[in-house]
A and B are shown apart, each in its own frame.
Chain A
């Protein structure tokens, strides 16, 4: 009986912990939006009102934020979907050569942090210093119209590129597992290849495409770094950057409640989209096109278009991974920022790298980052594993609710999460968390819980129930079974989630910026952000180059691990 009680205790413990970690910041976010006090510290239930809402929503600027957000999200999603569908179709359904380059290259683009990619494009396309703009002026004269990356168009273009890999990875299995007889039926009914593609293939994929599209829109809506680097300098705000600006811009005293009031709408849109998405997924699964049988779909002969098709695919890879890396590599060796020329090549220097080693803040930021990222990844893995064990393998009464709670942070944009935790840590001042890296760690852990539990749920479902039961009847109590059966069987997933979290926690600047208090909890992403803000471009380039190399190696490790997981059979028979 004692063991049963212990089991109940820890199940309830997990349940309450997740409930608190997810709901407490949200509660403060909502309460804060009604707070008429200027600072979170002065918050009291007596000083409540609608002032913040009135202030924010009577401001004509808010409408502009709304329309900017719509253009930015819709534009980047459309661009990404067009690119991803084309790429996935080329590699899965045509005889384009060099497919392996695309299969290997597209996921690698996930490794480049958005912030760095945006900075690289600023170096190429900013009106004053952009290398490409300068080149254009040199060739066509100073009156040449320039391409300005500090614009909605720039944001759409870059976020569009950034959304491609995820969409591609979602679309490839769909294209691969589609029943070819459906297309063959169209062909024998007299349809030409292109009209088969238009009238059958794309129609069949439509529900899945809509689901992918909504998912991408959610991501674009959440992202802070791209609109932050490209929009903030030009005063083009979307929801995420406006909230940041209200809290962090030093020009006037921040009015925290107004940020919350704005965040509420932002949150509402995000939650509504997520709700719509989960319903959409349910519907898409009912489409009987994807049957899971091992098909080898027909491949369209591209004929003389083979090489141009490969060229387009490689151009995408060049723009989203090779070019940003080369730009950073180049800038990192510059004594000061200038466009490429013969003279520059002679002046290249290692000064920036040496500076990094000497500059104290880099060292402390690096230490903070390693600690923060390590703690976040470990906490996410352990917590997701325990949550999924309860959700999938127990008869605990609240397991469905627990699952939903763990998924909910997925709908909460990082900036909103940041501001919510900002309030929480200020209010629960008996825990000295505010202004520490642990605050950032906790915020990230909650954000990544959705991903962690989804992966663990899927992996746990693949482990045959009898493998667990065999351990019990062999005399192993639950915690021994967890340790000797579940942990080793799930090792690929545990390691995979750990690395995934590291890859994301290290690059995201939005939430840490909301919780940033000074050198004590400055992490790498914030350091890069601040140095960029202050104009230390070559130094940023040096850090960025090193960071990109590390992230590329880690991504490669995940890919290799993924391949091993596919060959390892998990099951009873």
Chain B
């Protein structure tokens, strides 16, 4: 539904040239919820704005549906007002001089084919009921709460029933509690409408909970693309592992090859999942999530993948107790149940389940 091929975006600012997007390809299928995830400056918003036509790419091709909307080779660039899209902006961009009804009616009034008054009224009402804003038609837009503005922006983006919905960090201006509720609602709504959605966020939780496919971006490139589970469970490089969730990194050297190979690290031998094509003697980084580790104060029930260390710090975080264990010169973080009896200075043993340890090429 959205296809991007070899997209490059370079632009000049007062501080010099910015190479925002460096040749990305992606393909969003009909009805898919596709998320671009990455830190600020990774090029995700530039990519989204290129699809909308608000940014002029330097090179590449963009298709929306079957229609080509940008091609540097063909010298083609369809202006944003002729693309079949709906968009929600980070600031919501609710026009303060129009009331709720007129904000939603705006796209209909700008349609090439004149829409009859009656139809405008009924379509605006439908769009407002989708986002539960019925009855607020006459309210001046500045008198809405943040959550209401966000839903109004969504209604405005949906009212033309576009083929593609573009969302630019639509939840970042809401407070934490509301954001959590809206995540679920938003996903359910676009899934129910079956509309293809391209979503941009820097919030990993949003990406993981809402998306069908997540593409993690860094420095203008897509570094990994996959389902939320794949991205979280099997990060392909250190950046992804670091950016999404908490990870422990252990440096080591491969001593035995195989699907479950062996890596020597911190004076111990660890069984772990090796990437394809590594050889004995290669340097690797073993990644393990804090919630995957087991901690024993006495004897461990298993003898495989054991590291010994001393508890350096305990941080109470409400739903978990984060325990920092010094193993040699490294600190390993573990998530414990908040009522765990661990104590600072205690000597403990860490067990690393082999299937949860993933080695990445260093």
Contact = CB atoms under 8 A, between A and B. Distances in A.
A471 B98 CA distance: 12
A475 B110 contact: yes
A568 B96 CA distance: 9
Contacts of A476: 81, 106, 110
A484 B357 CA distance: 58
B91 A473 contact: no
A77 to B, nearest CB: 36
A350 to B, nearest CB: 47
B156 interface: yes
B149 interface: yes
A470 B110 contact: no
Given A472-B53, A474-B107, A475-B160, A573 B146 contact: yes
A235 interface: no
A517 interface: no
Interface string B98-133: 000000001100111000000000000000000000
Interface string B141-158: 010001001000100110
Contacts of A572: 89, 91-94
B173 A473 contact: no
Contacts of B95: 467, 470-471, 485, 489
For A469, A477, A480, A571, the residue with the greatest tally of chain B CB atoms inside 10 Å of its CB is A469
Nearest to B91: A572
A376 B313 CA distance: 74
Contacts of A467: 93, 95
B286 interface: no
A466 B90 contact: yes
A404 interface: no
B97 interface: yes
B142 A473 contact: no
A397 B157 CA distance: 33
Contacts of A568: 96
Contacts of B90: 466
Nearest to B112: A475
B290 interface: no
Nearest to B97: A488
Given A489-B96, A569-B142, A473 B85 contact: yes
A345 interface: no
Nearest to B82: A475
Contact of B81 (A464, A473, A485): A473
B217 interface: no
A488 B110 CA distance: 17
A196 B53 CA distance: 57
Contacts of B92: 466, 572-573
Interface in A541-573: 568-573
Contacts of B110: 471, 474-476, 480
Contacts, number: 85
Contacts of A485: 95
Contacts of A469: 52, 54, 80, 87, 89, 93
A570 B111 CA distance: 26
Nearest to A467: B93
B83 interface: yes
B53 to A, nearest CB: 7
A358 interface: no
A59 interface: no
B345 interface: no
Interface in A435-482: 464, 466-467, 469-477, 480
B86 interface: yes
B97 A475 contact: no
B79 A477 contact: yes
A471 B106 contact: yes
Given A569-B96, A572-B91, A473 B79 contact: no
A475 B81 contact: yes
Interface in B43-84: 52-54, 77, 79-83
Contact of A475 (B52, B54, B96, B111): B111
B111 A470 contact: no
A473 B86 contact: yes
A3 interface: yes
A464 B97 contact: no
A571 B53 contact: no
A492 B347 CA distance: 71
A572 B156 CA distance: 14
Contacts of A484: 106
B106 A466 contact: no
Given A469-B54, A473-B52, A489-B97, A464 B85 contact: no
Contacts of B106: 471, 474, 476, 484
A570 B98 CA distance: 12
Interface string A483-519: 0110011000000000000000000000000000000
29 contacts: A3-B79, A4-B79, A464-B91, A466-B89, A467-B93, A467-B95, A469-B54, A469-B87, A469-B89, A470-B156, A471-B81, A471-B106, A471-B110, A472-B53, A472-B54, A472-B80, A473-B52, A473-B86, A473-B166, A475-B81, A475-B82, A475-B110, A476-B81, A477-B79, A489-B96, A569-B96, A572-B89, A572-B91, A572-B93
Given A473-B166, A475-B110, A572-B92, 14 more contacts: A3-B79, A464-B91, A466-B89, A469-B87, A470-B153, A471-B106, A472-B81, A474-B107, A474-B156, A475-B107, A488-B97, A569-B142, A572-B93, A573-B146
Interface of B: 52-54, 77, 79-83, 85-87, 89-97, 106-107, 110-112, 142, 146, 149, 153, 156-157, 160, 166, 173
Interface of A: 3-4, 464, 466-467, 469-477, 480, 484-485, 488-489, 568-573
Q: Which 4 A-B pairs have the closest CB atoms?
A: A572-B91, A470-B93, A466-B93, A474-B107
